[in-house]
Structure 1
Amino acid sequence: YSFDLNTNTNSYEFQFSVDRKDSNADVQQKLMQLINHSKIGINASMVQNSKGDNALVLSSSQTGIADDEDYLFQILPDASPSSMHAMKLLGIDQIAQKAGNSSFVLNGKEHSSYSNSFMVNNQFNLTLNGISKDGSEATIDFKTDADAVADNVSRLANAYNEVIRIGHSYSDAQRPNKLVSDMSSVAKDYRNELEAMGLELDADNYLHIDRNLLYDAATAEDAQDNFAILNQFKDTLNSKAAEASIDPMNYVNKIIVAYKNPGHNFATPYITSIYSGMMLDRYC
């Protein structure tokens, strides 16, 4: 069997065969793999309803449609009766939802866009995440420098705290909290500078933010110096994280067994790379 898949720029012919033992789901699975492997900007997926019935859904990765376009893609069977019958059974030529542009009102004027993301006044990007309720509005404004700094510092502190949380959660499998020790040592080196900007280190090595102090630091005359310290702190954290990712075995309890040659005196073979002695004891 064969069918044509036409886009606004190209036309593709797909051929497939059906064995006697194939179920409808088997045929749909074949077509899904065939279309996805072709990488032509059409995504194929299988869906199932509450009754257990399967359907093959095709959708375009392109969004929006131009005024002179009738479709983003269409599917047509070839002229043979068998292919037309197969298309009727599969139903993949049926349109469940037509392509369309996003529609929105900005400053009282109606606009449309080919996608849900668009640029306003060539200054910043907006993304529509859903359909708003009738009469509801969203107000978009610029943040103050202090608010923007506070949000960025919060993300930095949250990322640091997540690493500390992971270190605590795996403390039984680690060399005595080496990950926590290495990462928190960076915060301790910058403790005085961080506390002056409203970032306090508690007994469990988590960072907490005092927004008032942080705002003061962001609006102070020496704000640039404060930013430089934060960048140094961030860069040092990145270096520590990179070291941990390069040699993660350095952060776990491990037993190294070396089978030495009794006739020769070699240095311990796993000193240079303990990964050469790793053995797989389970597969998940």
Structure 2
Amino acid sequence: MANYIFRRLLMLVPMLLGVSLAVFLILHLIPGDPAQMAAGPDATQADVEQIRTNYGLDKPFVAQYGIYLSKLLHGDLGDSFQTLAPVTEGIARTFPATLELAVAGMLIAVIFGVPIGIYSALHPRRTADRLVTSLAVLGISTPGFFLGLLLMLLFASELNVLPPTGRGTWAHLVLPSLTLGLPYVATFARLTRTSMLDVLAEDFIRTARAKGLTWGKLTYRHALRNASIPLVTMLGLDFGRLLGGAVIVEKVFSWPGMGSYMVDAIMVRDIYVIQGTILVFATSVVIINLIVDVIYGALDPRIAYS
């Protein structure tokens, strides 16, 4: 296990190098002059040239990328064009808010989605099962920003029971986490239903039932555990999507997270902020997938890490 984790961590290095190169290349190929945007519309040509020189934008692409990699190896993601503050400070300030929102959204997805899927699997082809399937399709198809605006209109404007925007108390977390997590409730419900139906049809389930096990023990001790590996896989994939989807939700609810930080940087082409935030998102997804692989071994001892 330790050797497997070590190898996966080593694989993180070339992966992040590839991400950094792709982002660096894309940001330098798109139209527009980042030095001009950083200087502002009223800046003189001398001001623009000074910014270009200070940030090394007057050097060839290979030289610029080499300078960026050298700083990156020392933990330096550069300085923001707009605030002149280090990008690492901005990420350290905003990433906890994004992580908080993503974790809350994932908890909502799992806490509601898995029990709904189990109930649907235990009552197949009944009215409740068909209703769950229909609602799952509706939930998956609903855009996050549209769902967020509906929730804001209902709970903040009409009922006036929850704050519409901002971050500070648990009440501020409710609407954005529901907006982020509810579509994934549908995903987990459908996947749980499918996995449970497959496991409940296995021979060992019929044997356990014949031995007199109650449906409660049979469902949660045997069937759910064997059906949980696809759920863990989906949890890892969806958590990465939640981090990315938080970008839109953060803007809708004025949530001060890294998604909002990145979108604001994109609007003014603050390239060091964009590169830094994408690298952090990519690193988070890789680490989450590593954790998921480790959980596989705890759920099924037959899985070997070769």
Asked which structure has the greater CA Rg, the reply is 1
Of Structure 1 and Structure 2, which has the larger fraction of its residues in strand? 1
